[in-house]
C-alpha cells in the first residue's frame, strides 16, 4: 500500500511503482510486484464494474498460461478455461481444418474470456494487499515519477508503469518527449459481435468470402464472438440482429455446411484494424507495457499475450531496480521485448493478408484485373496452408507463440 500525506489542499501518495491502467498488463504487473514485496498503486480511469465487464480477447497462448501459472495467477483459467488446438478455413473452394496443436512446437491455446481473467487478477491483487483506485483520471505524468490526477491529488513513485492503452496518458507522455511510433493501417474494419449462443464450430472459424471476411471464436459454452468485415466508417447501429445473422450465414456458407446456432446479440462494435509500435517502450522513470507500448491488430489474437509477456519482463526489471538499485534490466527491457513484439506484428500482418481479400465493394471502385489478382493471391496463400507441411508448421509456431 502506498503511504498518504497531506500537503495543504493536495493529497500525495508515495509508493514504489505507480501503475496507470487496470487491464491485463497493469494487473499482472501489480501482482508480480506485490509478490516480490514492492509497493504499488494502480490508477484506473474507469469504474470497477466497467473494468471487470469489458469483453475483449479470449485466447491465451501457452507462454501466457505458463507465466500466469508460475506466479499463482492461473487458478481461474485452470478451473474454467479449456484448451483449443484447431482452426477451420472455409471458402468457395470448400473447407479444411488445421490441427495446429499437432504441428510446430505442439502448443495450444487456452480459451478464457479476458474479462474473467481481469476479474481473477484484480481479486488476487486485492487479496495480496494491493491498492487500486477506480474512477481516477490521470492528467499528467512528470519526469520525476509524479502522477497528477483530476482531483488535484498526486501519486509519486520511483517508477511509473504506463499500462493504460494506446490512447492513454503514458503513451502521450512518451510521444511528447520525442519517442517515435511506427504505424500501419490495414485498411480493414470489423463489426465485432458478441452473441448469447453456444459455439457453432468446434474450431476457430475463418470464412473467406467475396463479401468480406467472417470469423467465429468460442468464448464460453453459451457465448460466442463473431466478426464481420465491414466498410470503414460503419455505424454498428445500422446492423440489426437479423442483418448480422443473415450476413454470417452468407459468408459461412450455411446452405452448404450447416446452420449457425443463433441467439440474442449482446454487444456490437466496429474495430478498425491498425497496428503501431513505439521505438522504445520507456525511459527514465516511465516504462510502458501492453497496448500503451504497441497496438496490434486482432487478426492473430496477440494483444493480451504480448501484454502478459511485457508485464513479466517489466516486473523483473523494476524489482531489480528497486531492491538492488540495478537498472541494467530496465535498460535491456526494450531489447528483450521488441524482437518478440515485431515477430507478433509480422504474423498478424500476414494473417490480415490471408483473411482479407478484395471485397464486392472493392470491385465497384477498383480495376477488375487488380481485384482478380488480389483474390488469386489470397487463395494461393490458403492453398499453401492447406497443402504444405512446412507452411503449416510455420503457422502453428507463430499462431500459438510469442
Tell me if residue 260 falls in helix, strand or coil: coil
Pairing mode, strands 3-7 and 10-20? antiparallel
Report the first-to-last Cα separation within the chain, whole angstroms.
33
User: What is the Cα–Cα distance from 19 to 134, expressed in whole angstroms?
Assistant: 12
- Catalytic pick from 112, 206, 226, 227? 206
Quick check: is 113 catalytic? no
Of these residues, 100, 227, 333, 399, which one is catalytic?
Answer: 399
Q: Could you tell me where the beta strands, DSSP code E, fall in 45-149?
A: 59-60, 82-84, 86-91, 94-99, 109-111, 131-133, 138-141, 146-149
| Cα-to-chain-centroid distance, residue 244 | 24
Instruction: Respond yes or no: is residue 373 known to be catalytic.
Output: no
According to DSSP, residue 42 is labeled E
Candidate list 84, 216, 268, 356, residue with the active-site label: 84
Active site residue 84: yes
Contact indicator for 102, 131 with CB cutoff of 8 Å:
no
> Which residue, 107, 179, 136, is CA-closest to 398?
107
Dihedral (Cα; 180, 186, 191, 194), 10-degree rounding: -60
Going from the C-alpha of 46 to that of each of 50, 134, 344, the distances in angstroms are 6, 6, 29
Could you confirm whether 349 is annotated as catalytic? no
* Alpha-carbon span 109 to 358, nearest angstrom: 30
Paired with 224 in beta bridges are 195, 218
The residue annotated as part of the active site, out of 302, 333, 345, 356, is 302
- Secondary structure letter of residue 294 according to DSSP: E
Marked catalytic residue, from 298, 333, 345, 356? 298
Positions of E strands within 112-213: 131-133, 138-141, 146-149, 154-162, 181-195, 204-207
265-278 and 10-20 as β-strands: parallel, antiparallel, unpaired? unpaired
In sequence order, which residues have a C-beta less than 8 Å from that of residue 96 and are 6 or more positions away? 88, 89, 386
DSSP 348-391: HHHHHHHH----HHHHHHS-HHHHHHHHHHHHHHHHHHHH-HHH
Q: Which residues are catalytic?
A: 84, 206, 298, 302, 399
Amino acid at each position: 500500500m502506498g503511504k498518504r500525506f497531506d500537503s495543504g489542499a493536495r493529497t500525495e501518495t508515495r509508493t514504489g511503482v505507480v501503475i496507470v491502467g487496470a487491464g491485463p498488463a497493469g494487473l499482472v504487473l501489480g501482482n508480480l510486484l506485490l509478490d516480490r514485496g514492492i509497493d504499488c498503486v494502480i490508477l484506473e480511469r474507469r469504474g470497477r464494474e466497467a473494468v471487470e465487464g469489458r469483453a475483449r480477447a479470449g485466447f491465451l497462448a501457452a507462454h501466457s498460461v505458463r507465466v500466469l501459472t508460475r506466479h499463482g495467477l492461473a487458478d481461474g483459467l485452470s478451473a474454467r478455461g479449456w484448451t483449443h488446438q484447431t482452426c477451420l478455413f472455409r471458402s468457395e473452394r470448400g473447407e479444411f481444418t488445421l490441427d495446429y496443436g499437432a504441428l510446430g512446437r505442439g502448443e495450444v491455446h487456452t480459451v478464457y474470456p479476458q474479462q474473467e481473467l481481469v476479474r481473477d487478477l484484480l481479486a488476487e491483487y486485492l487479496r495480496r494487499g494491493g491498492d487500486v483506485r477506480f474512477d481516477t483520471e490521470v492528467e499528467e505524468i512528470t519526469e520525476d515519477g509524479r502522477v497528477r490526477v483530476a482531483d488535484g491529488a498526486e501519486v509519486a513513485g520511483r517508477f511509473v508503469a504506463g499500462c493504460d492503452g494506446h490512447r492513454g496518458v503514458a503513451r502521450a507522455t512518451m510521444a511528447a518527449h520525442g519517442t517515435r511510433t511506427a504505424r500501419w493501417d490495414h485498411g480493414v474494419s470489423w463489426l465485432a459481435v458478441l452473441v448469447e449462443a453456444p459455439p457453432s464450430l468446434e474450431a476457430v472459424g475463418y470464412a473467406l468470402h467475396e463479401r468480406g471476411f467472417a470469423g467465429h471464436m468460442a468464448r464460453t459454452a453459451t457465448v460466442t464472438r463473431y466478426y464481420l468485415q465491414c466498410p470503414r466508417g460503419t455505424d454498428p447501429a445500422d446492423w440489426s440482429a437479423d442483418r448480422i445473422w443473415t450476413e454470417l450465414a452468407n459468408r459461412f456458407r450455411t446452405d452448404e455446411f450447416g446452420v449457425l446456432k443463433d441467439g440474442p446479440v449482446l454487444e456490437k462494435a466496429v474495430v478498425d484494424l491498425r497496428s503501431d509500435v513505439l521505438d522504445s517502450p520507456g525511459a527514465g522513470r516511465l516504462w510502458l507495457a501492453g497496448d500503451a507500448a504497441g497496438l496490434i491488430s486482432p487478426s492473430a489474437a496477440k494483444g493480451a499475450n504480448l501484454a502478459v509477456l511485457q508485464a513479466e519482463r517489466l516486473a523483473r526489471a523494476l524489482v531489480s531496480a528497486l531492491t538492488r538499485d540495478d537498472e541494467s534490466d530496465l535498460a535491456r527491457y526494450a531489447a528483450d521485448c521488441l524482437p518478440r513484439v515485431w515477430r507478433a506484428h509480422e504474423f498478424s500482418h500476414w494473417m490480415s493478408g490471408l483473411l482479407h481479400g478484395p471485397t464486392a465493394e472493392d470491385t465497384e471502385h477498383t480495376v477488375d484485373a487488380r481485384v482478380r489478382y488480389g483474390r488469386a493471391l489470397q487463395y494461393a496463400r490458403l492453398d499453401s496452408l492447406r497443402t504444405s507441411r512446412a507452411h503449416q508448421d510455420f503457422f502453428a509456431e507463430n499462431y500459438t507463440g510469442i
